[in-house]
């Protein structure tokens, strides 16, 4: 089952409600693009690639909801929907990237009628979802080259099938290494405050029969200092042109400790998540979520009533702590300013060639 998918019979977008896992596998269904934007904000769906696909299907819903009978009015309705969708979560670049792809289709002059535009938008949304699965698998097998038999992998947050349309990014590398028969072990950061590691990554690894231990976030340094970690794999919600990586809060701390202890640190990043328009990570907008997520765990208070809390959802890891970046086009090493731009150009050329 895909994390996000279109129901052609019901003309709705469906997604696994990740707030219910691992206790219940529930499917949410939406027929209104406002509801899809809400689902992204409230983390019914999460993970940069999955958010991008959800936003694309949300735009398909917006096209269907529009009563416009002419192309110009339809485009204006779609631009209004795009503003709402883009505001749902600001850090993950895949969201805005997917919305831009949909708007490009909407302005295609070769489409004759509004019906043609609506159909083309839905096809593009489905293409975004299908491409995500294919490139995740390519990326996973590039990354699996970094994993040796017997390795212990430290992983933060959730980057598996649940964070994408299917398969996964950093956790996809783990799946590929396991599929290759390598005997691996995973240390899973619980990932406060929303516990994506404990709730989601642990569930995915358990489903696949991959050996792992759940650890408190603050224990990661101990395992690295004592030589019990061979490699750190993380995802990325946005990567700047210089290789700075914005990822789930706590990633920066892991990267610093990894470098201190000589442990390789690799973000696993689809090229759609690399933002060449941002020179460095200081320019990446960091979402700050409600403090209630910090003072409660699974809805139960853990702190004195009435206190305030700060809750940045992401942090930025400077590129000097990054060993290399795994992409669907291969593993990119420093200097990132040059090599990221080069690998994106190569990937764009490959896509053009494959279409011809």
64-69 LR contacts (CB < 8 Å, sep 24+): 64/11, 64/118, 65/32, 65/33, 68/114, 69/114
The gap from C-alpha 136 to its chain's centroid, in whole angstroms, comes to 11
Reduced to 3 states, what is the DSSP secondary structure of residue 332?
A: strand
Q: Look at strands 152-155 and 4-7 and give their pairing.
A: unpaired
Q: Look at strands 245-248 and 314-317 and give their pairing.
A: antiparallel
Reduced to 3 states, what is the DSSP secondary structure of residue 347?
A: helix
The single-letter DSSP state of residue 92 is -
**Phi, psi values for residue 155, rounded to 5°:** -130, 140
The partner residues of 12 in beta bridges, in order of sequence, read: 7
Q: Quick check: 165 and 243 in contact, CB under 8 A? A: no
Positions marked active-site: 237
Which single residue is written with the structure tokens 């593009």?
A: 124
Q: Look at strands 231-234 and 265-267 and give their pairing.
A: parallel
Nearest to 237 by CA among 295, 137, 156, 330: 156
Reduced to 3 states, what is the DSSP secondary structure of residue 322?
A: coil
Nearest to 78 by CA among 64, 89, 90, 92: 64
């Amino acid at each position: 089952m895909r994390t996000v998918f279109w129901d052609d019979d019901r003309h709705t977008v469906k997604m696994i409600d990740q707030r219910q896992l691992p206790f219940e596998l529930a499917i949410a269904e939406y027929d209104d693009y406002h509801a899809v934007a809400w689902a992204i904000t409230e983390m019914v769906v999460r993970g940069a690639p999955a958010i991008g696909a959800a936003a694309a299907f949300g735009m398909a819903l917006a096209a269907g909801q529009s009563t416009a009978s002419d192309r110009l009015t339809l485009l204006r309705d779609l631009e209004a929907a795009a503003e709402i969708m883009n505001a749902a979560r600001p850090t993950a670049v895949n969201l805005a990237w997917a919305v831009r792809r949909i708007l490009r289709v909407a302005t295609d002059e070769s489409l004759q009628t509004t019906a043609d535009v609506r159909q083309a938008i839905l096809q593009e949304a489905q293409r975004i979802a299908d491409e995500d699965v294919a490139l995740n698998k390519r990326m996973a097998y590039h990354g699996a080259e970094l994993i040796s038999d017997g390795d212990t992998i430290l992983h933060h947050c959730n980057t598996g099938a649940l964070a994408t349309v299917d398969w996964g990014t950093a956790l996809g590398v783990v799946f590929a290494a396991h599929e290759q028969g390598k005997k691996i072990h995973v240390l899973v950061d619980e990932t406060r405050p929303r516990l994506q590691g404990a709730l989601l990554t642990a569930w995915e690894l358990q489903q696949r029969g991959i050996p792992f231990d759940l650890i408190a976030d603050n224990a990661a340094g101990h395992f690295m200092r004592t030589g019990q970690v061979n490699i750190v794999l993380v995802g990325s919600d946005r990567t700047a042109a210089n290789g700075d990586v914005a990822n789930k809060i706590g990633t920066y701390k892991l990267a610093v400790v990894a470098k201190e202890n000589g442990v390789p640190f690799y973000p696993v990043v689809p090229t759609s998540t690399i933002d060449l328009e941002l020179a460095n990570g200081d320019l990446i907008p960091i979402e700050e979520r409600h403090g209630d997520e910090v003072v409660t765990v699974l809805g139960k208070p853990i702190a004195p009533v009435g206190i305030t809390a700060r809750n940045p959802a992401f942090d930025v890891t400077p590129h000097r702590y990054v060993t290399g970046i795994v992409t669907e086009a291969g593993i990119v090493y420093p200097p990132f300013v040059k090599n990221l731009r080069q690998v994106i150009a190569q990937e764009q050329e490959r896509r053009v060639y494959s279409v011809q």
